[in-house]
Structure 1
Amino acid sequence: MVLVADGTRDAQRREALHALAETVADRREAPVCAAFGTRAELRSAVESTTGPLVVVPAFLAGSDAASTELLASLDLGDRFDACATAPLGAVPSIVAQLVARLHAAGWRPGDGVVLAADGGVELPGNGERRQVMDVARMLSRRVQTPVQVGYLHAWAPSVADAVARLRRNGHSRVAVATWQLVDGADLDGLREIGATAVAAPLGPSPVVVETLLAQHRAATARLAA
Structure 2
Amino acid sequence: MSLILTAHGTRRPAGVAMIGDLAARVSALVDQTVHVAFVDVLGPTPSEVLSALSPAAVSAQPAILVPAFLSRGYHVRTDLPAQVAASGHPDVTVTPALGPSRDITRILTYQLVKSGWRQGDSVILAAAGTSDHRAQADLHSSRTFLSTLTGTHVELAYAATGVPDVRTAVTEARRSGGRRVVVVSYLLAEGLFQERLRASGADLVTPPLGEHPGLARLIAGRFRNAIRGRLGSRRMQRMPN
> TM over 0.5: same fold?
yes
User: Equivalent of 1:74, from 80, 83, 91?
Assistant: 83
Determine helix, strand or coil for the equivalent of 1:108.
coil
Number of equivalenced pairs:
221
1:4 to 3, 6, 9: 6
Distance 2:105 2:229 in 1: 26
CA distance in 1, matches of 2:44, 2:113: 40
More helix by share: 2
Q: Runs of 5+ in structure 1 lacking a partner?
A: none
What SS does the corresponding residue of 2:16 show, helix, strand or coil?
Answer: helix
What do residues 9-68 of structure 1 show as CA deviations (whole Å, max 9, x unaligned)?
332221111111111112243321111365773212112324221111123227x87687
Alpha-carbon spacing, 1:103–1:16, altered in 2? closer, same or farther (3 Å): same
* TM-score normalised by length of structure 1: 0.87
Secondary structure at the counterpart of residue 84 of structure 2: coil
- SS state at 1:48 partner: helix
Flag the 1:19–1:29 CA change in 2: closer, same or farther, 3 A.
same
Distance in 2 between residues matched to 1:145 and 1:164, nearest whole Å? 19
Q: What's the counterpart of residue 43 of structure 1?
A: 47
Which structure: larger Rg? 2
Q: Report what 1:210 is aligned to.
A: 217
**8 Å contact from structure 1 (residues 82, 223) kept in 2:** no
- Quote how far apart the aligned CAs of 1:204 are: 4.0
Does the CA-based 8 Å contact 1:14-1:36 persist in structure 2? Answer: no
- Match of 1:31? 33
Asked if the contact 1:113–1:147 (Cα under 8 Å) also holds between the matched residues in 2, the reply is: yes
After superposition, the Cα gap between the structure-2 partners of 1:213 and 1:28, relative to the gap in structure 1 and judged at 3 Å, is closer
Please give the per-residue CA displacement for 1:106-153, whole angstroms capped at 9, x wherever unaligned: 21111110000011332x7xx211111111011111222111000111
Q: Any gaps of 5 or more consecutive residues in structure 2? A: 55-60, 234-241
- The alpha-carbon distance between structure 1 residues 40 and 24, as it changes in their structure 2 partners (threshold 3 A), is closer
The 8 Å contact of residues 118 and 153 in structure 1, kept in 2 or not, is answered as: yes
Asked if the contact 1:39/1:70 (under 8 Å) is kept, the reply is no
- Residue in structure 1 matched with residue 181 of structure 2 by the alignment: 174
